[in-house]
A and B are shown apart, each in its own frame.
Chain A
């Protein structure tokens, strides 16, 4: 693990940010606590997706499969009498198994085939949840035990729980970024053949990344299910979300530590703005945002330099090679 000053500063900044977030819970009212919880949830999902989508560069469109599996696993466990916190761990475990089950066949595919396979998993799972009435409650949905306490207390509790999970996802990302596992994923992103030539067990690494993403995604889903105390298939396996998460990470910067955070926050702000002022147009405008992000910001906000921004207005096609801190710090 290479730890230099830039990295230490990043970690310190992140820890400070989360500490501030946790302290804010004492003063925020219920509305802002809810906004904060949603934001923390999206950032967890973004950090989770970033491992497979950003570091490894696989266009995984199954983030919501993990989320939904976690929501149902946690929900079913809780409905069967498992304590809430334990149910979250159960959900994370189910997420691990599911990621293995999905990853082992799908990670043999590449590019479009992989993307289509992953997005199909969302549709299949939603149908399963819709039809397996005894287990999932079918289309009617599944009720979970309601977390005891006043609305303020409950709001604060789930805000802190989500924030805690986002912090874990942040730490996992930081570790991936600096260890040979993450380095290997970056090699795989660029050239799988060359990666195996230097001795990387490409398939094992790919499955490992997929599992990390799956575990974090499922844990997020489980906390969400406990919070809303009711889940239904179209909510747990929301096809729009499975597209939105990658767009957020692209907006912020794929394969970077803070990209998911920046992307998540700016996307939520953009979306709120669009919702508030362009009620009749919002889906069209959101589509426009998505296209703009993909076209103009292939490297994300964190991948941009001022030079790129100026150049953008002249000619629009520059993907600056990503040079990392590892190399810079070695000089």
Chain B
């Protein structure tokens, strides 16, 4: 993996307070072009909040967010989206009364900077890629959950992003669908898009991410090559919990070091 010298996204001591509680606490990170980075941590660790801060849905309490060498800390969400940052919502947010195709077109028109006709072509392309093309005329509200998650992905892809943040986009998929999704995400990254994968399914993280960041109580608890982070006993015990560690050991096949 060749890393460009300048990061695509850089977080400088980013914090966010909710009524005195640090939901995100002094996080500094660098993301490089084309890499897939895992972002893990227990429930309430601040993963979604971090995505909300980067995409402008929440304002930072302190710190700086730099995208492409330019500060986007105080920019509005639609400007950030047009600049090339796309995210999926953990709690899916489709345009329920529009068709699947129209949902994806929305991404292609505004952030993708396309006219209506070209947007439709781009949307169909993205739907084929995410294997939703056969459902394109269905109202988004009638999709099953797994397909709604894919719709979020298709919509974000249509935006032509340079950075894509996937907030538990694979939750609710069955095993073979997950394999498919992993392939999909890999081929997205191969086009040079930087991807942040937030997942509770360790299998997905280990399969995709070269590098993983662990959040706990809003702060970075560990960061490094995924294999190393996963083996870090401190991470497993303290940050993922005992049960989680066991399940991970059973399903991932990665040897887990047991703390003494």
Spell out A's residues near B (CB within 8 Å).
1-2, 178-180, 183-184, 186-187, 190-191, 193-202, 321-324, 326-328, 330-331
Contacts and interface: CB of A to CB of B under 8 A. Distances in A.
Interface string B75-119: 011100110001101000111111101100111011110011101
B211 to A, nearest CB: 26
A191 B99 CA distance: 14
CB-CB nearest 6 A-B residue pairs: A199-B111, A199-B110, A321-B139, A199-B81, A327-B99, A194-B93
> Which range holds the interface residue count of chain B?
35 or more
B87 to A, nearest CB: 7
Given A180-B115, A194-B89, 14 more contacts: A1-B115, A2-B116, A180-B116, A183-B109, A184-B106, A190-B97, A196-B77, A197-B93, A198-B81, A198-B106, A199-B81, A201-B76, A330-B101, A330-B120
Contacts of A187: 95, 98, 106
A202 B79 CA distance: 11
A87 B81 CA distance: 43
Contacts of B111: 198-199
B136 A198 contact: no
A269 to B, nearest CB: 30
B205 interface: no
Contact of A198 (B76, B96, B107, B142): B107
B55 interface: yes
A196 B106 CA distance: 10
Contacts of B142: 321
Nearest to A188: B95
B137 A328 contact: yes
B76 A178 contact: no
Contacts of A2: 116-117, 120
B116 A178 contact: yes
B76 A183 contact: no
B124 interface: yes
A191 B93 contact: yes
A1 B116 contact: yes
B149 interface: no
Contacts of A190: 95-98
B137 A199 contact: no
Nearest to B84: A199
A180 B109 contact: yes
Contact of B78 (A1, A200, A328): A200
Contacts of A180: 109-110, 115-116, 119
Contacts of B94: 191, 194
B208 interface: no
Given A190-B95, A194-B94, A202-B78, A327 B102 contact: yes
